[in-house]
Structure 1
Amino acid sequence: MEQYITIILRTIFFYVLILAIFRLMGKREIGELSILDLVVFIMIGELAIVAIDDPEQSLIQTTIPMVLLMVIQIAMATISLKSKRFRDIVDGKPTIIINRGKIDEEAMRKQRYNFDDLLTQLREKDIRSIGDVEFAILESSGSLSVIEKMSNGNGKPQEGDITIPLIIDGCIEEENLIRINKTNLWLRQELKKMGYKDVRKISFCSFENGKFFVDIMDEE
């Protein structure tokens, strides 16, 4: 009887502890969890299960590794906020699968993403035909973001555009410049015309339908 009471108390303890740890690590939707998040969550869950199954094991021996994992995750998340390169390494980059209505088979092969995956995720978003899709982006979380072709008023689809990030956290996204057939020099010249002389002070700059959106770091 005493053993069952111990198991019940341990279960309650670790439930509260894990809830507190996840709250401290920040709010994230299940579909938005990074690989780092998943690894930490799985390890914390496994540690709790082992501790509950083995009442003889000290609570301190299990609690310390769980708290340490939380600290590591928070530290990594902080680094990720400050470093775009680190985010790309840990979380990966979004991949454009359908670009202006054209399927990019090479991008699909790189991501080991097949047409069954594509069609399944399109059906989940109530997209009947690939022909209705202007852009489909495979996010780093594995979810598919879809932008349908716009209607020009007579029922026929017309081409649109998506937001192309050109600067993130003060760093120029060279790959995206190549995607829109522009150069680093062109971007700097355009920004200077708008009064932005120091690229490092720009937290985010995007280009869509010929227009720029610029946000300065820590600007009130």
Structure 2
Amino acid sequence: MVIIITRTLLTYGFIVLFFRLMGKREIGELSLLDIVIFIMMAEIAVFSIEDPNNPISHAIVPMFLLVIIQRLTAYISLKSKRFRDWFEGKPSLIIANGQVDENEMRRQRYNFDDLMQQLHEKSVKGVQDVEYAILEPNGKLTVFEKEQPQSSGFVHLLIMDGEIQYDALKTLNKSVQWLEAELLKKGYSELDQISYCTIDQAKNWFIDLKDER
């Protein structure tokens, strides 16, 4: 037991030291390499503690090597934008001029649930209030709202990615037939071609078609 406690304290001390050497970054700003290194260090630390028969150097040396790799790639990233773009990725324009770019979302494996969650986290009611939205390499969504909000009151999401949101219809006490009839009046006969459709408390509709550029 004493050996395990000692190895745990030593491993903890080395990990703290190595993380200090890697520099200060917020969790949300970690690059892909940082995340991989943290996971690998955690695995190495677990193996080191679970198997007291192996010398602790078998854990410290790989951790130190990971720190060297991280420092080296960070230095190259500072010197080369091409390397930084290739290694860490580029920002992706998800919403441009108020329209959703579904092609870019598919390339980034980014779905409407992700988009709506991150918009709501920024107190944005819906796509109609966004001029531009940029998906950063670290997964955060940067949102530039329109100068004049397009929505009024609560926004009900009726269609998302071509699928009817039945819970919203239930909240409005409306039927699918009502939705189809209203959209037909506006010239939309195929619901599965609608990427995003909402109605707010002032009865303002917002409709974005799939792959409409």
Q: What's the TM-score once normalised by structure 2's chain length? A: 0.68
Between the aligned partners of 2:145 and 2:150, the Cα distance in structure 1 is: 12
Match of 2:211 in 1: none
3-state secondary structure, aligned to 2:133: strand
- Which residue identity does 1:108 align to in structure 2? M
Match of 1:6 in 2: 3
Between the aligned partners of 2:132 and 2:104, the Cα distance in structure 1 is: 13
Aligned length in residues: 151
1:38 aligns with 2:35: yes
The alpha carbon displacement at 1:61 in A equals 1.5
How does 1:67-86 map onto structure 2 within 5 Å? 67-86=64-83
The alpha carbon displacement at 1:12 in A equals 0.9
Q: Structure 1: 5+ residue runs without aligned partners? A: 158-220
Q: 1:122 to 1:87 in 2, by over 3 A?
A: same
Between the aligned partners of 2:58 and 2:73, the Cα distance in structure 1 is: 23
Q: What's the TM-score once normalised by structure 1's chain length? A: 0.66
Match of 2:142 in 1: 145
The alpha carbon displacement at 1:6 in A equals 0.9
Alignment deviations for residues 109-148 of structure 1 (CA, whole Å, 9 cap, x no partner):
1111111111111111111121111111001011111111
Would you identify which runs of 4 or more consecutive aligned residues in structure 1 move more than 6 Å?
Answer: none
User: Is the Cα–Cα contact under 8 Å of residues 128 and 150 in structure 2 kept in the other structure?
Assistant: no
Q: Structure 2: 5+ residue runs without aligned partners? A: 152-213
- Which residue identity does 2:81 align to in structure 1? K
Q: Percent identity at matched positions? A: 54
The higher radius of gyration belongs to 2
Alignment deviations for residues 7-33 of structure 1 (CA, whole Å, 9 cap, x no partner):
111111111111111111011111111
The alpha carbon displacement at 1:156 in A equals 7.3
How does 1:1-220 map onto structure 2 within 5 Å? 4-151=1-148
How big is the alpha-carbon RMSD for the aligned residues of Structure 1 and Structure 2?
1.5
User: Is the Cα–Cα contact under 8 Å of residues 95 and 132 in structure 2 kept in the other structure?
Assistant: yes
Which has the higher relative contact order, 1 or 2, with Cα contacts under 8 A spaced 6 or more apart?
2
Alignment deviations for residues 22-68 of structure 1 (CA, whole Å, 9 cap, x no partner):
11101111111111111111111111110000111101121111101
